[in-house]
Every structure is written in C-alpha cells, then in structure tokens.
Amino acid sequence: MIAKLLMIVVFVAIVVAIGIYTRHHAKSVDGFVLGGRNVGPWLSAFAYGTSYFSAVIFVGYAGQFGWKFGISAFWIGLGNAFLGSLLAWWVLGPRTREMTQRLKAATMPEFFGKRYGSKALRVASAAIIFVFLIPYTASVYNGLSRLFTMAFGIPYEWCVIGMAVVTCVYVVLGGYMATVVNDFVQGCIMLVGIVAVIVAVMLSNGGFSQAVISLSQVQADASGFQGAFTSMFGPDLFNLLCVIVLTSLGTWGLPQMVQKFYAIKSGPAVKEGAIISTLFAVVVAGGSYFLGGFGRLYEGDIAFAANGTPIYDSIMPTMLSSLPDALIGLVVVLVLSASMSTLSSLVLTSSSTLTLDLIKGNVVKKMSDAASLTWMRALIVFFVVISAAIALVQYHSTITWIAQLMGISWGALAGAFLGPLLWGLFSKRISKAAVWASFICGVGLTTANMIVPFMGSSIVAGAAAMLLSIIIVPLVSLVTPAVPFEVIPPRASAAIDREYAHELAEGGQPAFDSAEPLERL
C-alpha cells in the first residue's frame, strides 16, 4: 500500500510541477489556448492520443465491448489507430493548421463563424460544445474512481474530488502547454502500463493460447454457438462496425481533438505527428480492447445489476484485481494519466470556447486579453466542479456504465460538426443552411434517441449522426447559396510545406508564420 501511494504522490507532484514550469507560456490568450501555435510533433501526437484515450476507453469501452464482441473488439483499436488517428492527421491536419491560421481562429466555433461569415453559427456551435462536453467530462471521473476504490479502498467521492483539484491546479497555471507536456509524460506511462498489464493478465490465464482456448468455450448470449468470442468478427458484426465508426470517425469532429491541429507547427511536423499518433493508438487502444476481449473469463467474479446485466465498468477492475500490488499501482497511475490528460483537454476546450465565442462580444462587449484569461481560468474551475458533481450524481443513479455518457456526447458533437468542418476545409461551395442542417441533425438525432431509443443504443445513433453529417452538408449546399471562400489549393499547400522545410534547413523562421506567402500563392 505504501508503494502504491508513493507512486500516486510522485505522479501528482510531477504534473503540478509541470504546470508551474509552463506557466510563462500562459500569459496571452493565444499562449493559454494554443501554446503559441508552436507545439512540436511529439508533444502534439501524444496530446492527441492521451486526449483520445481515457478511463472511458480503458475501463468503460474496453470492458463493455470486450464483453460483447470478444477478441474481435481489437478491430475497434485498429480503427482508432488508422481511421481516428492516421487518416485524421493526413486529411485534416495540414489544412486545419493552414486555414485556422489564415482566419486567426483559436476555437472550432470561431472557425465556423469566420469560415461561414455567421456570428449565429459561432454562438450555436459554442452552445453545443458547452452542453455536450460536460457529460463526457463527467464520464471520465467514473472509471478512474472505480479503479481507485479497488486498489486503495478510498471512497468514490474522495477520488473524484482529488482528481478535480489536481487537474484544476495544473491547467489553470500552465494552460495548453501544461496539458501537452503532461500529456507526453502521461502517454509514456500509458504505453509501458498497457504492455505490462497485457502480459500479466495473459500469464495469469495460462498464457495467450490457453486464454484463447478458454474463451472459445464460452457460449455467445442467447445462442448455442461456441467460439463466437474468438472469431474474427465476433458475434455481432453490425454493432461492432457502429462502435468503430463512433470511436474512430468521431475524432474528426470533436473540438478537443481538432484543436491539436491548430497548435502544431506547420510543415513536416504534421506528417511526423501522424506516424507517432498512430503508433501510440495501436498500442494503447489496440491493447485496451484486446485485453477487454478476455473479460468473459471473469464472468463469475464481476458485478451484475439487478436485471442481470453486467456492470461493464466493473469488468476491467475485476480482471486487474488479482495482479501483484506493484502492477495494480502502475495500472492506477496509467488510468490516472489517461483520465487527467483527457479531462484537462476537455475543460480547456470548454472554457476557451465559452469565453471567446459566447461571453466575449455578446455578454461582455469589450474584453481585454487579461480579462479573457481570467474568465477562462475561472471557467476551468467551473467546468471541473460541474462535471465532478454530475459524476457523483451519476454514480448513485441507475446509469451503471460510463460508455453511455460518452456515446451521447461524441454522437452529438461529431454529428453536428464533422460535415461542416470537413467540407468547409476543402470546398468553397458550402452554404450556411447546410451547416445549420448538420447541427440540427447531429444534436436532434442523438438527443431524440436518448429520450426515446428508437435506434437502440446511443452508439448506433451517434454513428448514424456522423455519417449523415457528411452526406447532408453537400446535399443541402446544392440547393442553397454557398458562402464564398478562397480555399487553399493542394499545390499551394505543398508549396508551403516545401518553403517551410527549405527555410528551416537554413536556420531561419518559416515564412508561413506570416500571411504573406498564402496571399502570394
């Protein structure tokens, strides 16, 4: 117990120290929100990955979908790596970096407002972020706190409060740079921890071959089919595909993920970050879902609800509870790392969006940089407190798995924003009406399904909302007037990268840091 507590104390001391060390980067709005748009590929890639994968993935999704799909849940991890990371970086990264700098946009709502020339779109998108990021933020606490309870016997409430306080301290002090530096440290812990846990769990089940043999003898629910949980596509291919779409394509429209492309250095840094981020996702996401696929081997030990449904959040803690104490301590630090990195990204995105896109110019007509920083810091505390309160209420309610909250949040946000962002980056024929249609469809579909589950689960509704967003935007734009905008052509984009690399090799400042090369091209 002393060793486990010491690991937690050292971890907390490191993240707070990083917040203090990076506080000089947070003296301006651009520095606080985007780190001065000068973040390197390693920090950006790890920030992307650690914001992507939190306790929601490791405890909630890995446990739930490993139980439902068996080893085939590993496809979700591969989808996260290649669709949610690699392809997102290749397609969105360079163009997002270029256009947000041209427009001087620091948030996704600001991009929508300037790209489509509409203050109403900016306010509406900020309101959507404000409403739907909070459930996701609340869900982050849940999985972490269950692990703390298992490892230390600490009451759930104290775990939530402790995590909230530590996150507040370092994000308020150092802003975006504090989060990305901490994300790098936390990402390294996650990589080591995932590998160590997989090896330990396999060994505790007689090795990989024996674990697969044991899993192959488990019957799929409501059928006599054995071996479903060790088959290539599992017992439920349709829902497996829906989860892959939700958790992979969703990152393309989530503000806290896309914001990482705003802040990265231009030029080669984006290409390097894509590779690093993908490898990180293969290990962390692939490893988590692979491990969750063996959850059925612990069916006699996990907790069940009164209606006989497994409490999915209890599956992964149960699998880990028999490990040596030192390894349990490492797992707790692993999930603490994942959760705090995601939480810091979420509250920073929420506070900056609410300050810059809703309050500034609307509630407070004239707001200086100093006032903006004060508002953002105060709102970080506000968001952490609200999400912690929701997590405590949810813990004592009938909602017994954290994946439900994440599915609703991701579905509404990515369902509203994915189409307008993607088409807005590459086409100058997109209309305001198309953006409004996507907003209404994404939020309306997921909210309606939450009230009356006509599509079944929030997973299916979220995946459908994302795909509809991509389809609706160009279709509505065909019959409504487009917003004229000069999009950077691919050749110009390539020329910028070459100019950047050439000037960097000569030791100078990249010309892209000014708007002049873009105007010339």
Of residues 221 and 458, the one with the higher pLDDT is: 458
Three-class SS state of 322: coil
Tell me what pLDDT residue 399 has: 53
Amino acid letter, 430:
I
Return the structure tokens found at 7. Answer: 């690991």
**212 pLDDT tier (thresholds 50, 70, 90):** very high
Mean pLDDT, range 235-262, rounded to an integer: 90
The pLDDT value given to residue 34: 83
| Mean pLDDT score across all residues of the chain | 83
Long-range contact set of residues 164-170: C-beta below 8 Å, sequence gap at least 24: 164/384, 164/385, 164/387, 164/388, 166/12, 166/15, 166/16, 166/340, 167/340, 167/343, 167/344, 167/347, 167/384, 168/380, 168/381, 168/384, 169/16, 169/19, 170/15, 170/16, 170/18, 170/19, 170/344
Positive or negative torsion for Cα 67, 334, 387, 156: positive
Give the pLDDT confidence of 457-500 residue by residue, as tens digits.
888 888 999 999 999 999 999 999 998 765 444 444 444 444 43
Q: pLDDT tens digits for 313-345?
A: 788 888 887 778 778 778 778 877 777 888 888
pLDDT in tens, 59-76: 778 888 999 999 999 999
CA distances to 29, 123, 124, 144, 432 from 119, rounded to whole Å, are 20, 6, 9, 39, 11
Q: What integer is the mean pLDDT of 107-135?
A: 90
Contact 335, 147 (CB under 8 A): yes
- Angle of helix 41-52 versus helix 156-204 axis, rounded to 10: 100
Mean pLDDT throughout 87-98? 91
- Please give the pLDDT value at position 145: 63
Q: Give the residue, 141 or 77, on which the prediction is more confident.
A: 77
Percentage of the residues of the chain whose pLDDT score is greater than 90: 30
Task: Work out the pLDDT band at 224, boundaries 50, 70, 90.
Answer: low
Q: Give the C-alpha distances (Å, rounded to integers) separating 187 from 16, 34, 51, 260, 495.
A: 16, 19, 10, 15, 33
**Alpha-carbon gap, residue 187 to 260, rounded angstroms:** 15
What is the tens place of the pLDDT at every residue in 171-188?
Answer: 999 898 988 998 898 889
Q: How confident is the model at residue 17 (pLDDT cuts 50, 70, 90)?
A: very high
pLDDT of residue 279: 95
Q: What's the pLDDT score for residue 510?
A: 41
> Please, what is the Cα angle at 189 between 183 and 192, to 5 degrees?
140
- Collapse the DSSP code of 304 into the 3-class scheme (helix H, G, I; strand E, B; otherwise coil) and give the result: strand
Distance from C-alpha of 116 to C-alpha of 480, rounded to nearest angstrom: 13
The full set of domains in the chain, from first to last, is: 2-15+39-487 (1.20.1730.10), 489-521 (no CATH)
Please determine, for residue 123, whether its predicted confidence score (pLDDT) is greater than 90. Answer: yes
Residues 141-145, mean pLDDT to the nearest whole number = 66
Residue 99 has pLDDT above 70, yes or no: yes
Q: What is the model's pLDDT at position 464? A: 92
Copy the structure tokens of residue 1: 């117990």
**Bridge-partner residues for 364, per DSSP?**
360
The whole-number average pLDDT for the span 407-432 is: 91
Question: What mean pLDDT comes out for the span 273-280?
Answer: 94
Is it the case that residue 109 has pLDDT exceeding 90? yes
- What does the pLDDT average to over 394-406? 60
